[in-house]
Every structure is written in structure tokens, then in C-alpha cells.
């Protein structure tokens, strides 16, 4: 499904860590790895040197793993430059690291680089938020799933390939809105009743995952999505979270917030936000 995977590298260590995920995905899918570094106008020489060194390191290690890898150095503003490479090379997936300053601001509400990357790159995008350098080889992957999942085949494929690349176990996690009544308040559901409320999209996702023979386990929990996801990841020491890049409309966002925003800010482990292009 992925023939060409692009990873963007700059002078920051998190871009190099993000590139490792791309490298392993390329290995497992047999894709060609394009390591792209963009020299921005006015960027100091030293800064670009660091990016170049990082790109070389990644290429070197990719070749050690028998991955067909190529470095592309280009210039201009990062997003248009990367977009151009994606178009000209026919890239299927771009793996890009976020910056902390992006995450600290309102990710959903403002026009930021990371969000622009998700929305504007003409390919699937895996936005990697690196927070933990000790867990870059995940063995436990948390995959939060909503009731309605877009692009199930693509998401399942990405999840399965990431898990296979690292020999990791997948923990599917669905946060259910607590059942409330006017007089009784929150109603406690027994596990069997919870199972009964499992959305059809979740079952479809699981079926796809089964097709790739990936070890997985299912967890259900009532609560508020963003908070429950970070608590689950922290309490069970998950190494990586893979989330879909669903966005909420502005009214929905103002009323209920966005779980992705919360997870981006509070994630205890590295996080990949996947935007598919089906």
C-alpha cells in the first residue's frame, strides 16, 4: 500500500526520531524511503548542517536495514517545498514531526504549520509528536478508536504495519460516553452490557487488523475521551499512541473541546496522528 514514504528532517532531534518510525515502516512495507530536508530562507548554515547530518544518519541506518533510501535536499518554505516533493515523487505517506510550540497553542483553532501539514500535503500524513526518547521502539501501542471511524482500511493498515515493524502489541481503546438519566445520574454498565454497545465500525477495524495477523486486545472505558486516553497510556505504560486526525467543527470544539488537542498536550508517550487520503 505504501510504495514511497517521505520523512522530513530538520535540525531538531524529534524530526530524527520521527524518521525512525518512517524507516521501520518502509522496512516492513518494502517502500522506498525519501529523507527530505528543506533549507528555509535565512536559515543559519550550522542549523542546516545539523539537518544534513541527521539525514545522513538516517540514510545510513536505513541502508543497514536494506531499505532503499534517498536523501532530498531542497530549499524554500517547508510546506510548499515538501508538497512539491510529494507530488513529483508520488509519495504515499509523509512522516513529519510536530514542534512543541505548535502543540502548546490551540492546534485546532489556528493556522499552524503542523495542522497545515496534515491538511495540505497531498498524501497520507503521519504527524509524530515525540515526547519520550526512551520509548522509540514501541512494544505496546495504544490505538484509541471513536464510534465512527473514517478510512478504516487505511488506518488499520498503518496500525498493523507499525505494530509489525516493531513487533508490538496493539491495544484498541474505545472511550464510551457514560450513560446518564435525569433521575439516576450516571448508569453503571456491566462488562457484558458494555460489549453490547460496541460500535460496528470498531468491529470492522478489528476485522481488518485480524487480516494482518497482528496481536491485539480491546479495552473499553467510560469517561471523557482525551483524558481517558492519556490516563490509559500513562497507567499501562504504553509506548506509542496512534490516533486518527479527526477534527471537530468550531461549535463542537467550543462546546466539547477536542480530544486530540488534549492528547497532544498531555500524552505521556510518543503520539502519531494519522491523516489518511482515501
Partner 1 sequence: MKINEFTREEVFNNLVTSPAGLDSDEAKRRLAEFGPNAIRRTHRRPLALRFLEQFTHFLALLLWLAAGLAFLSEYLNPAEGMLTLGLAIIGVIVINAVFTFVQEYRAEKALEALKRMLPFRVTALRNNSELQIPAEEVVPGDVIRLSEGDKVPADIRLIEASGLRVNNSALTGESEPVGRRTDPVPGDPINSTNIAFAGTAVVSGSGTGVAYATGMRSEFGRIAQLTGSVSPGLSPLQKEIARVTRVVAAIAVVMGVVFFAGGHFTGRPFWQNFLFAVGIIVANVPEGLLPTVTLALAMGSQRMAKRNALIRTLTAVETLGSVTVICTDKTGTLTQNRMAVAKLWVDEELVEPSAPVGSETHRLLFTAAGLCNNARFVDGEYRGDPTETALLRASREALGGLDAKRFYEVPFDAERKMMSTMNALQHGTVVLAKGALERVLPLCTSIMDNGRSEPLSAERRDDITHAYHVLMDMGLRVLAFACRPVTGDAAADAAAEDIEHNLVFLGLMGLQDPPRPEVPAAIAKCRQAGVRIVMITGDATRTAVAIARQIGLATERPVAIDGQTFSLLNDRELKQKLGERELLFTRMTPKHKLRVVSMLKQQGEVVAVTGDGVNDAPALKRADIGIAMGLSGTDVAKEAADMVLLDDNFATIVNAMEEGRTVYENIKKFITYIFASNIPEIVPYLAYIIFRIPLPLTIMQILAVDLGTDMLPALALGSERPTPGVMQQPPRKPTDRLITLGLMARAYLFLGPIEALACMFGFFWVLRGGGWDWGRDISSLDPLYLQATTACLTAIIVTQIANVFACRSLRESIFTIGITNNRLVFLGISVEILLQLFIVYHPVGNAIFSTAPLPAGTWLVLAPFAVLLLAAEETRKYLLRRTSPA
Write out the residues near partner 1 by the rule CB under 8 A: 11-14, 16, 46, 54, 99-101, 130-137, 139, 182-186, 188, 190-191, 217, 219, 221, 227, 230-231, 234-237, 262, 265-266, 268-269
**How far from chain centre, in Å, is Cα 183?**
41
Beta strand 124-129 pairing with 270-275: antiparallel
How far apart are alpha carbons 246 and 119 in whole angstroms?
A: 11
Q: 191 vs 278, which CB is nearer to partner 1?
A: 191
Give the residue ranges of DSSP H helices in the chain: 13-29, 45-64, 78-89, 100-104, 113-120, 152-166, 191-196, 200-211, 225-235, 250-256, 259-266
Q: Which residues are registered as beta bridge partners of 187?
A: 179
- Tell me how crowded residue 1 is: count the other CB atoms within 10 A of its CB: 12
Q: 255 vs 278, which CB is nearer to partner 1?
A: 255
Q: How far is the CB of 56 from partner 1 (least distance, A)?
A: 13
Length of the chain: 278
Q: How far is the CB of 22 from partner 1 (least distance, A)?
A: 16
Q: 219 vs 248, which CB is nearer to partner 1?
A: 219
Q: How far is the CB of 169 from partner 1 (least distance, A)?
A: 11
Q: With beta carbons less than 8 A apart as the criterion, state whether 230 and 268 touch.
A: yes
Contacts 24+ apart (CB under 8 A), 114-122: 116/79, 117/79, 117/82, 118/245, 118/273, 118/275, 119/275, 120/79, 120/83, 121/79, 121/82, 121/83, 121/86, 121/94, 121/96, 122/83, 122/86, 122/87, 122/277
Q: How far is the CB of 57 from partner 1 (least distance, A)?
A: 8
Q: 111 vs 184, which CB is nearer to partner 1?
A: 184
Q: 183 vs 213, which CB is nearer to partner 1?
A: 183
Q: How far is the CB of 264 from partner 1 (least distance, A)?
A: 10
Q: 155 vs 174, which CB is nearer to partner 1?
A: 174
Residue of 11, 9, 21, 8 whose CA lies nearest to 271: 21
> What cell does 213 get?
495477523
Q: 1 vs 13, which CB is nearer to partner 1?
A: 13
Q: How far is the CB of 153 from partner 1 (least distance, A)?
A: 27
Q: How far is the CB of 138 from partner 1 (least distance, A)?
A: 9
Amino acid at each position: 500500500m505504501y510504495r514511497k514514504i517521505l520523512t522530513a528532517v530538520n535540525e531538531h532531534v524529534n524530526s530524527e526520531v520521527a524518521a525512525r518510525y518512517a524507516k521501520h515502516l518502509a522496512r516492513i512495507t518494502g517502500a522506498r524511503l525519501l529523507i527530505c530536508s528543506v533549507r528555509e530562507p535565512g536559515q543559519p548554515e550550522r542549523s542546516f548542517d545539523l539537518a544534513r547530518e541527521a539525514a545522513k544518519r538516517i540514510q545510513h541506518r536505513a541502508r543497514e536495514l536494506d531499505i532503499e533510501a534517498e536523501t532530498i535536499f531542497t530549499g524554500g518554505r517547508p510546506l510548499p517545498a515538501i508538497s512539491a516533493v510529494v507530488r513529483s515523487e508520488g509519495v504515499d505517506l509523509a512522516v513529519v514531526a510536530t514542534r512543541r510550540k505548535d502543540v502548546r497553542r490551540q492546534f485546532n483553532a489556528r493556522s499552524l504549520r503542523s495542522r497545515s501539514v496534515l491538511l495540505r500535503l497531498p498524501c497520507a500524513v503521519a504527524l509524530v509528536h515525540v515526547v519520550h526518547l526512551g520509548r522509540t521502539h514501541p512494544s505496546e501501542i495504544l490505538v484509541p478508536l471513536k464510534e465512527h471511524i473514517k478510512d478504516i482500511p487505511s488506518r488499520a493498515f498503518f496500525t498493523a504495519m507499525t505494530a509489525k515493524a516493531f513487533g508490538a502489541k496493539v491495544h484498541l481503546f474505545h472511550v464510551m460516553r457514560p450513560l446518564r438519566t435525569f433521575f439516576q445520574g450516571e448508569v453503571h454498565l456491566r462488562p457484558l452490557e458494555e460489549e453490547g454497545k460496541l460500535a460496528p465500525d470498531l468491529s470492522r477495524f478489528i476485522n481488518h487488523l485480524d487480516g494482518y495477523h497482528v496481536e491485539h486486545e480491546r479495552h473499553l472505558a467510560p469517561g471523557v475521551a482525551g483524558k481517558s486516553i492519556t490516563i490509559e497510556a500513562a497507567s499501562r505504560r504504553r509506548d506509542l499512541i496512534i490516533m486518527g486526525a479527526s477534527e471537530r467543527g468550531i461549535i463542537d470544539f467550543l462546546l466539547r473541546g477536542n480530544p486530540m488537542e488534549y492528547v497532544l498536550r498531555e500524552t505521556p508517550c510518543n503520539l502519531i496522528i494519522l491523516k489518511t487520503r482515501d
